[in-house]
Each structure stands twice: as structure tokens, then as C-alpha cells.
Amino acid sequence: MSYSIALAGNPNCGKTTLFNELTGSKQHVGNWPGVTVDKKEGIYKKNKDVKILDLPGTYSLSPYSAEEIIARDYIVKEKPDAVINIIDGTSIERNLYLTLQIIETKIPTVIAINMMDEVEAKGDYINVKKLSEQLGVPVIPITARSGKGLTELMNAAIEVAKSKKKPNSLPIFDANIEFAVSHIAELLEDIQEEDRTWKAIKLVEGDEIVLKTLSESQVAATNEIIGKAEADADGDTEAKIADLRYQYISKVVKTSINKKKVGHVITASDRLDRILTNRVLALPIFAVIMYLLFACTFSENFLFIQGLPSPGIWLAGLVETGWGSLTGFIEGFLESAGASDWAFSLVIDGIMEGVGAVVGFMPLVLVLFLLLSFLEDSGYMARVAFVMDRLFRHLGLSGRSFIPLLMGFGCSVPALMASRTLESDKDRKITMMITPFMSCGAKLPIYAMFAVTLFEGSNKTIIVFSIYMLGMIVAIISALLLNKYAFKGDTSNFIMELPQYRVPTAKSVFIHGWEKIKGFAIKAGTIIFAATVLIWLLSNFNFHGMTDMENSFLASIGNGIKFIFAPLGFADWRASVGVVTGWIAKENIVATFSQLYAGIDDEAVIESIMAGEQALPAIHDVFDKVSAFSYMAFNLLCMPCFAAVGAIRREMGSLKWTLRTVGFQMAVAYVVALLINVIGHLIF
């Protein structure tokens, strides 16, 4: 018999870490709220009949944002066989509020007290047996990061799922609330008996979602009962219920938990926050940290040591050497097999050059995202979102919008999905319109190609860093204009938990790196492979058969659209074609250039960097430094890849708003690139 077990808890309590440990999956784990924006499914490693679901974090079952609705709907509508409620043992009072609401649903429940290593380090003691008795459900202490206690947890969860043991009702409410709940439950005759009490409680709380499911007569009768209850609750039953729950939590904590330290103690996290969230220092520190990340990725002289390349450049050299050896082997095989000229050109000039152009820059992507993952897992990025709230307030957004924007540095698709965490429709729309301005990992090879080809020394780091900063600046200005002229509405409140700083585990950081490289490898083997074959065919054939590139189908297409981009500084038809192929996948721009610009040799480029020299491929004939920066800026800001556009369509829920979003992005990209080209050539 199969069982479904849901993982539920507050944001940043360790659900996704636990999910990965139980299933062997490699979902994104971050030491900041809002990592999971949809439910994830996996199979328990030790029992193939047990399905585990990782739900988005929620503070209560009275949802205010889209991802909280996902968590609530699954629990109360899909009804898993059991719920594992993960509690952060260092903040147990706050976490227990959701626990009480889950128990009210009468779904078999097990509580997992996570981060027990931190609880013990603080000298606190949790009486697990006493806590279990008071809540009426099994309580298991665990440390998800190390795997401690997970077997006991799953044994308990499977047991309650098999027995279908429902939690007992807890003596939380006073007589007034109990009277209202019981009488409303009697009105809900058309609802399953096990759901009546929970829905009655939600109605007394004023839950609009549940209220909409009632008939007119039920609404009238319910309002009458609630009116009487409110008269005895000083006019606010929702606040009264919340107060009664917290009173009960206080009793439970008082009898079950012994804290070694009384009062507020200045922790190491507090001392760090005095510096990293300082009003004056916070943003400059963030800028310096980001610059150091790019220096570790692109610098020819790592740690200012002459001749010592950064880890990114060093790894890129190794990959290029390996790819060059593979290309040489395939060349020899084709020659010995007597392959025709067109077949040889397709494989070597098309596939190996095109795919190799992307593969050659994968180590740079790996290093950058390992470093970004370290910052996320440490808890620093949560502070950045908090600091950004002060700035975002002036843009009509809350600091929570910074979370999807920050995720956009990885991939625009999950970043756009993360907009569900925003409560305001205005915030969601503006955030989705500007999120693609963040430079996703797929755009990094484009910058790397131009940086290593056209710029010298430390300028490489400065150029790539400035492109990333340009995306953030344009996003901020765009949000300001959209808020002022296109959208009306109040700014939503920003409440965010700042997690303790933690040293990330090597496993977690390298999982992130593996995910990024795996994504690139899949694209290289599918989308980019197909695109390189298509580009080779279009650049070597016309209606009369095989021909030179300047008379090919692709040249005709490029020449037909190049006038659009001429004011931006790149009137060459090959550069215009690159923009279009980039809409399939941004990495395709590099693959396109490697085929269309004769002389671009990634191995030679990397070798020249290692030697501290400037590579001189044919790209110099088309781009100068200003037009190259304009080209990078346009591809940074223009319409994202088709997958991201699809995500915009799903999250916007409207084709009209999708077209508006894409049109806005194209207009912004064109204007910014035009300004860079015109002003840049006036100055330089």
C-alpha cells in the first residue's frame, strides 16, 4: 500500500533540506525564506511505496500569498495520509502556531523538531515526551543537515499514516469561540464531517476563501453566529482566536522547554548584522562582495598574484584542453573514415564548434554559482533583501520583491515563479516585468566571450561586474517608472525572518553547482545541439544548394533585420542572427558566433588568457568595445528565452499582460543599448 506524506512548516525551517535527505533529490536549498514556490514530489529512499511532498513555507493556514495557498490547498483538499510538520527548534514558539492549525485539520500528524544541533549548542532543553503529550501527536527531534533522527521520524510518520490516527482536539478556545464553532459546524451539513470543525474555525476567523464556498443561506446564518461571538470578543474573533492559540503555545512551551539563557543575548549573528545591515555600509559591502565574486571567476591574477589565474579561468583552461583533444580525435576519425566535406564541416565546424563554445564557458558559470550558493546558504542574501526594502519602498515595492530578482541571477524561470510569494498583484506584475533584467546564468557565456576577446587584464572583471550592475540599475529605474505611471496601489508590507548565519555544508553548495552544470549540459545536448545543426544548415545552404555563408539562408535573414540593430552599433547580419537565436536559449548566441565568425577559437581564447595576452579572433572586425558593451546590454535586457516567456504567461495568467511585458522589455533593451552606443562613442 502506498502513502503520501507532506512536509509542512514555516519558511526556512529546513523542509527542503529534509526532503533532499529523505528522497535523494537535489532541490534548491537556501538559508532564506521563499526557496520553495511550488510543491515538489519525491520517493522515500528506504521505502518506494512512500511518496513525499515538499510544500512551500507558510506561517499559517490562513494564506495571503500564492505559495501559501498551494500549501494550504494540498493539506486540506488533497488530504495526504500524514503531515510531517517541521519546526525550527531555535524558534519553537513562533513555529507552533502553524502546528496548532495543522492539528485542527485532523490529518494524521508527526512533528519534527529540526536544528537540534543548534538547540543543544545554545544549552536549551526540549522535553520531547512532554511536548508530545500536550500536543497529542508524535514529536521526533532531528537534525536534517546531518541526517540525525530521520529514520525514527519516517517510522513514526508511516505508522500514523497506516493507522490513520487523527490528532485529538486541543483545549485552546474559550466557551464563546467553542459555541460559535460548534453551531457553525452544524450548519455545514453538506460538508464531510471531518472537515466541518476546521471550516467552522476558519469561518469564525473570517476566512474569505472558505466563506465563498457557502450558500447564501449558510452565509447569512454564519454571519449571525459570528456577530454574536464578536460581541463577546470585543468585535474581533480573528484576533481573539490568534490570542488564544498563543496563550496555549505559551503554556506548552513553559512546561516543555527549558532555556539556558534568559533575556536577549547578543549573538554572533547580531554582531555581524550591525555591520552587514548598517544603513550606510550595507550597500557598499554588497557591491564589494559581488565584485569579489566576479574577480574569483574572471580575474587573470587571482588574489593579485601575477600569473595565478582565478579558479574559473583555470577550470576553463582544463575544459577547453579536453574539448580540443576530443575534437582532434573526432577529426582524425572522420578523415580516416573518408567523410565527405559537408559531413566533416557539419560535425567539426557546426556541432563541435557550436556546442564547444558553450561548454568552454561552463566552468565560469560553475565557479560563480558555487560562490553565490555559499552566500545564499550562509544567510547573507536574506540580509540583502532586508536592506533593499528601504530602497524598494521608494519604488512602490517591498523588499520581498528582491528575492525573485536575486533568484534571477540563477535562472529566470524559477525566479518568475517565485513572484508568487508576493501578496500584492501590483508587486507581482512589476516584479515579473523586471526580473528578466537580472543576468541569468545562461547570459554569462555571452559576457565571458566578449570580455576575454575584447578587454584586457582586470577590465574583464570590471566589464562583467558592470553588466550585472547595469541589470539591477535598469530594474530599479523601470520599477520606479512602472509604479508611477502604469500601476496604482499601496505598497505591501514586508515581514521577513532573518535566519541565523550558518556555515553552508559542502554538500549543499556543490548540489547547487551540479544543478547549474547539469542544466547547461542538458541544454548543450538538446537545444544547443539542435540549434547548432540548424545554424550550420541555414548558413551553408540556400535554394540552390550548398553555398558560401554570405549567400546562405541565414545571411538573407540577417541582412533583412540588421537595419533594426544598426543604431545600436552592430549592423552586421551575423550579430543580428545571434540576437534571434538567443531567444531559444541565451547560450545559443555564443554557439552562433562560434560558427558564423570565422576565426573564433575558444581554445585559443582561453590559452591567450592563461598567457595574459589578448585574443584576436574575427570578432574584432565587427565590434569595438563600445558596440560590444551595447550588444551585451541589449541581450541582458531584451526578451528572455522562450521558457521564461512561457513562465511569464503562466504566472501573469493573461496573454495581454505577457505581450505587454515582452514589449516593455524589448523597448527598454533598445533604448539602453542605443544610449550606450551613442554616448559611448562620443566619450571613447
Within-domain flag for 276: no
Q: Is 320 in the same domain as 447? A: yes
Q: What's the CA gap between 163 and 607, in Å, rounded? A: 65
Q: How many CB atoms within 10 Å of residue 423?
A: 18
What does the pLDDT look like over 421-455, one tens digit per residue?
676 788 888 889 999 999 887 888 888 888 877 88
Q: How many CB atoms within 10 Å of residue 323?
A: 19
Handedness of CA 280, 479, 589, 619 (dihedral sign): negative
pLDDT class of 265 with cuts at 50, 70, 90: low
What would the mean pLDDT of 288-300 be, rounded to a whole number?
79
From residue 529, alpha-carbon distances to 517, 564, 588, 591, 646 in Å are: 16, 28, 9, 9, 22
Give me 198's grid cell.
Answer: 476546521
What does the pLDDT look like over 336-373, one tens digit per residue?
888 887 888 888 877 887 677 677 767 877 887 788 77
Q: Is 116 in the same domain as 145? A: yes
Weakest-pLDDT range from 37-41, 240-244, 286-290, 680-684: 37-41
Higher pLDDT, 612 or 281: 281
pLDDT at 672: 96
pLDDT at 560: 92
Q: What's the CA gap between 302 and 234, in Å, rounded? A: 66
pLDDT at 612: 39
Most confident stretch, 77-81, 107-111, 232-236, 397-401: 107-111
Within-domain flag for 265: no
Beta-strand ranges (E) seen in 572-666 are none
Q: Is 158 in the same domain as 180? A: no
What would the mean pLDDT of 313-322 be, rounded to a whole number?
80
84: which strand partners? 7, 110
The answer to whether residue 128 scores a pLDDT higher than 50 is yes
pLDDT at 130: 92
pLDDT at 674: 96
Q: Is 246 in the same domain as 364? A: no
Among 163, 193, 220, where does a domain finish? 163
The answer to whether residue 617 scores a pLDDT higher than 70 is no
Within-domain flag for 283: no
Within-domain flag for 448: yes
Mean pLDDT of the chain, nearest integer = 82
Question: How many CA atoms within 13 Å lie on the side-chain side of 661?
Answer: 28
Q: What's the CA gap between 70 and 211, in Å, rounded? A: 18
What would the mean pLDDT of 519-533 be, rounded to a whole number?
75
pLDDT at 513: 73
Within-domain flag for 503: no
Higher pLDDT, 601 or 561: 561
pLDDT at 614: 39
Q: Comparing C-alpha atoms, which of 379, 611, 23 is closest to residue 7?
A: 23
The answer to whether residue 35 scores a pLDDT higher than 60 is no
Within-domain flag for 517: no
5: which strand partners? 52, 82
Question: How many CA atoms within 13 Å lie on the side-chain side of 448?
Answer: 33
pLDDT class of 102 with cuts at 50, 70, 90: very high
Q: Is 351 in the same domain as 437? A: yes
Alpha helices, H only, 144-281: 150-163, 175-187, 193-204, 208-211, 216-231, 237-256, 268-276
What percent of the chain shows pLDDT beyond 70? 88
Among 103, 132, 163, where does a domain finish? 163
What is the value of pTM for the model shown? 0.66
End-to-end, the C-alpha distance of the chain in Å comes to: 72
Q: What's the CA gap between 133 and 300, in Å, rounded? A: 62
Q: Is 130 in the same domain as 217? A: no
Q: Is 182 in the same domain as 301? A: no
Q: Is 594 in the same domain as 454? A: yes
Q: What's the CA gap between 57 and 9, in Å, rounded? A: 6
Higher pLDDT, 69 or 670: 670
**Strand-pair category, 125-126 with 109-114:** unpaired
pLDDT class of 480 with cuts at 50, 70, 90: confident
pLDDT class of 607 with cuts at 50, 70, 90: very low
Q: For the purposes of burial, counting CB atoms within 10 Å of the CB of 213, is it exposed (0-12), middle (13-18) or buried (19 or more)?
A: middle
Weakest-pLDDT range from 28-32, 230-234, 273-277, 602-606: 602-606
Q: Is 336 in the same domain as 240? A: no
From residue 118, alpha-carbon distances to 59, 115, 158, 234, 500 in Å are: 21, 5, 27, 41, 10
Q: Comparing C-alpha atoms, which of 438, 467, 472, 470 is closest to residue 451?
A: 467
User: What CATH number is attached to the domain comprising 243?
Assistant: 1.10.287.1770
The answer to whether residue 308 scores a pLDDT higher than 80 is no
Helices (H) and strands (E) in the chain, counts: 32, 10
Structural domains counted in the chain:
3
H or E element: which one contains 553? helix 553-565
What would the mean pLDDT of 585-601 be, rounded to a whole number?
74
Q: Is 454 in the same domain as 480? A: yes
Within-domain flag for 586: yes
pLDDT class of 306 with cuts at 50, 70, 90: low
pLDDT at 520: 67
Residue-range definition of the domain harbouring residue 29: 3-163
pLDDT at 610: 41
Among 163, 185, 204, where does a domain finish? 163
Q: Is 149 in the same domain as 186? A: no
Cβ contact 361:520 at 8 Å: no
What would the mean pLDDT of 176-205 be, rounded to a whole number?
83
What percent of the chain shows pLDDT beyond 90? 22
The answer to whether residue 297 scores a pLDDT higher than 50 is yes
pLDDT at 608: 44
User: What CATH number is attached to the domain comprising 101?
Assistant: 3.40.50.300
What would the mean pLDDT of 397-416 be, rounded to a whole number?
77
Q: Is 370 in the same domain as 464? A: yes
Within-domain flag for 507: no
